[in-house]
Amino acid sequence: MPERMLPGTADAAFAANEEPLYAPVPQPAFQQVVSTRYQRREVLLRSMGVALAAVFGGLSRSEPTLAAGAIAADGVAPAAAPNAALDVPTSRLGFGAVPASNADGITVPAGYRAQVLLPWGEPICGDYPAFAINNTAAEQAQQMGSHHDGMHFFPLQGSSTDGLLVMNHEYAESRFLHAAAAGLKLNVFDVPLRADGSRDPEQVLKEIHAHGVSVAHVRRDERGAWQLVRGARNRRITAATPMRFSGPLRGDPRLRTAWSPEGTHGRGTLNNCAHGVTPWGTYLACEENWRYYFVRDAGPAPASLTRYGVEPLSGWRWHLAAANAGPDADQFARFDASSRGASAGEDFRNEPHAFGWVVEIDPFDPNSVPVKRTHLGRFAHEGVIFAPAVEGRPVVLYSGDDSRFEYIYKFVSARPFHAATADGALLDEGTLYAARFDNNGQGEWLALVPGQNGLSAANGFGSVPDVLLNSRGAADLAGATPMDRPEWGAVDPGDGQVYFSLTKNERRTGEQAQGPNPRAANEFGQIVRWQETGGDHSASTFTWELFLLAGDEPNGRGLQGKPLTADSILANPDGLWFDADRRLWIQTDIPDGNLNTKGWSALGNNALLAADPETGEVRRFLTGPRGAEITGCVGTPDQTTLFVNIQHPGASTAAKAFAAGRWDSHWPGPSSTLPRSATVVITREDGGKIGA
């Protein structure tokens, strides 16, 4: 999802305060800037005595030329004719590249099949209410949420055909969620308002229920098709589900609200983008752009709000339903963080402090209370990536803060991992670090601990809770490196290198273009990787290099600066996942307003690509429908099934076209229907490993 997610129906004040969601970029000037900066960076690196090859390390190797697969029509279909070049010796990538596509469907390589599973609105629990555009808020709470994002397959008894598919629902597109929105002139993040400027409580509650997480029991049948298994394992968690806090902030006065005067509990999880999977088999949902749900008093506010962009204007305007909600007003009023009561225990001034965390969910216990693990820091968490757990060693995880010029963090547990006893309590004690990337290819982890790295009571960081509540402010003082919007990460199961997507940052200036963020006006993004010193994930130093600079053919570069080709060009890398054979699966999120325009024209719709971490080979594996991003990629243990999420098809529809019913996408079809986020299940006709 774009960082600036600003629902803004005709709110002049809001518009005046914020730049447009997608500033138009004239093509020639843009390309010139990017390529100039790329050259400038080479010069910079050379002048520092650093060969470009050192930044783009690894081996170079020519890409095999492989025939492309077919474009599916509406919905998904098995792709084209057999491809004689499928077997590429010594390559991890054994499939034929699919071409960039702007079709409203899914493309997969020859020999592969794709099946749609669990679209938004599919009933999964309770009374299993059938999907319809006029479903109520209560029905939505028993159905798949919207905007599928990070996802994991938890096998049952180690099975690769029977398990729990757990996924985030990052947000909802109001105009496609409500029957009453039909015919209105609404843009992608606009919300329908009543004539008096308030919001309809039933609509807002439906939006609240379309957010959160789904746990869905799925099984492959004898014919190879995957189905939902109805039963008690299935669960919806929403933006209203009660949760508890653990770690240093639990019970902190700054978490007290009228609903939890002790500051120990909160309601719901918001804007869950990517996810994490713990070594003890639980699911972590990460809270990313939660700030747009809140409004606060004008005037001075604590850094725990201002450093996070909580403003006197709300994007989602959920609080505006309170006036129409009678005794239920509190569930909406909590999104207004104004000080109204005599103390924090009498209002919701602290409600924004209940968000920006990582939430642990036990998918195997449908009655478990989700836990917000506060020691992992508070920011716009994209996801959480664990280093492989080692018996007797600390647990280590990485997490990116997806905003422009924000940081990459690492958490190292205080207590060692023991497989027999490990649980979420390991995440409640430890040290949070932020990364500094030096231009010479070295890096250091800066402990965010009072008394270290410039943090003290005098500057607001006298305690661990102070540091965690305003992790961004602590990392500012410590001198962490501002990055180009850190998205997902992944750890190479072969050599332990950590990869992170830096999706874009069009505001980076020439002076700021350096290190792992080498391009000014960075519209395409890049992928950085690093090796912890001594291969020890708890080390305090590392060495880094760029794995690729995304872009079209003039701008995209792979390892050692080798140009990307028609089969490998990509932009705005977001999701990353390594399979057990060390294929790095890269999912793209070109903003829907940029798709198939200007500098993105050659790139087509968003795509899933696979890369070989040793050779740097990159090859496009799947293309998505119009307006959608590709996310959530994860496989079964035997690697014969790959699950991929298609998020926000049709989001590129302009307001006028929406009003006229001319949507950019009807995926997954048939052609007259609403676009719906959904999971796609990829298998091979010969039953083999995906990508091999």
Q: Using CB atoms, what's the residue nearest to ligand FEO?
A: 273
- Distance CA(94)–CA(22), nearest Å, equals 37
Stretch that binds Ca ion, among 65-73, 272-280, 305-313, 458-466 (CB under 5 A): 272-280
- Least Cβ distance, residue 240 to Ca ion (angstroms): 21
Whichever of 273 and 559 has its CB closer to ligand FEO, that residue is 273
The C-alpha angle 649, 522, 408, rounded to 5 degrees, equals 85
Q: Using CB atoms, what's the residue nearest to Ca ion?
A: 589
- Least Cβ distance, residue 272 to ligand FEO (angstroms): 9
406 forms part of the interface with ligand FEO (CB under 6 A): no
574 forms part of the interface with Ca ion (CB under 5 A): yes
Whichever of 63 and 487 has its CB closer to Ca ion, that residue is 487
- Least Cβ distance, residue 74 to ligand FEO (angstroms): 27
Cα Rg of the chain, angstroms = 24
Torsional sign, CA 274, 278, 281, 284 = negative
Partner whose binding site includes residue 545, from Ca ion, ligand FEO, none (CB under 5 to 8 Å by kind): none
- Distance CA(14)–CA(451), nearest Å, equals 40
Helix (H, G, I), strand (E, B) or coil at 216: strand
- Least Cβ distance, residue 292 to ligand FEO (angstroms): 12
User: Counting beta carbons within 10 angstroms of the beta carbon of residue 23, is it exposed (0 to 12), middle (13 to 18) or buried (19 or more)?
Assistant: exposed
Whichever of 273 and 455 has its CB closer to Ca ion, that residue is 273
Given 5, 166, 273, 502, the residue binding Ca ion (CB under 5 A): 273
Partner whose binding site includes residue 239, from ligand FEO, Ca ion, none (CB under 5 to 8 Å by kind): none
- Least Cβ distance, residue 641 to Ca ion (angstroms): 22
Stretch 486-505: interaction string toward ligand FEO, x if CB under 6 A: -x------------------
Taking phi first (over 0 means left), then psi (-120 to 50 degrees means alpha), and beta for anything else, what does residue 137 get? alpha
1 forms part of the interface with ligand FEO (CB under 6 A): yes
- SS3 string, 40-76, reads HHHHHHHHCCCCHHHHCCCCCCCCCCCCCCCECCCEC
- Least Cβ distance, residue 242 to ligand FEO (angstroms): 24
- Distance CA(309)–CA(404), nearest Å, equals 12
Whichever of 146 and 304 has its CB closer to Ca ion, that residue is 146
Given 139, 311, 589, 612, the residue binding Ca ion (CB under 5 A): 589
Partner whose binding site includes residue 288, from ligand FEO, Ca ion, none (CB under 5 to 8 Å by kind): ligand FEO
Whichever of 176 and 292 has its CB closer to ligand FEO, that residue is 292
Show contacts with ligand FEO in window 362-401 (CB under 6 A). Answer: 382
- Least Cβ distance, residue 274 to Ca ion (angstroms): 6
288 forms part of the interface with ligand FEO (CB under 6 A): yes
Whichever of 280 and 405 has its CB closer to ligand FEO, that residue is 405
In Å, what is the CA distance from 99 to each residue of 68, 74, 255, 503, 601?
6, 17, 50, 22, 13
Whichever of 351 and 402 has its CB closer to ligand FEO, that residue is 402
Stretch that binds Ca ion, among 246-254, 294-302, 416-424, 569-577 (CB under 5 A): 569-577
The C-alpha angle 581, 56, 387, rounded to 5 degrees, equals 40
Q: Which residues are within 8 A (CB) of 378 and not within 5 positions of it... i.e. 6 or more apart?
A: 304, 308, 353, 356, 357, 468, 469, 470, 471
Per the DSSP assignment, residues forming a β-bridge with 336 are: 295
Stretch 165-204: interaction string toward ligand FEO, x if CB under 6 A: -----x----------------------------------
Closest CA to 273 of 21, 43, 537, 589: 589
- Distance CA(381)–CA(357), nearest Å, equals 7
Closest CA to 404 of 525, 306, 530: 525
- Distance CA(97)–CA(686), nearest Å, equals 18
Whichever of 579 and 589 has its CB closer to Ca ion, that residue is 589
- What are the backbone dihedrals phi and psi of residue 500, each rounded to the nearest 5 degrees, phi first? -135, 135
Tell me which residues touch Ca ion (CB under 5 A). 1, 149, 170, 273, 487, 574, 589
Binding region for ligand FEO (CB under 6 A): 1, 170, 273, 288, 382, 402, 487
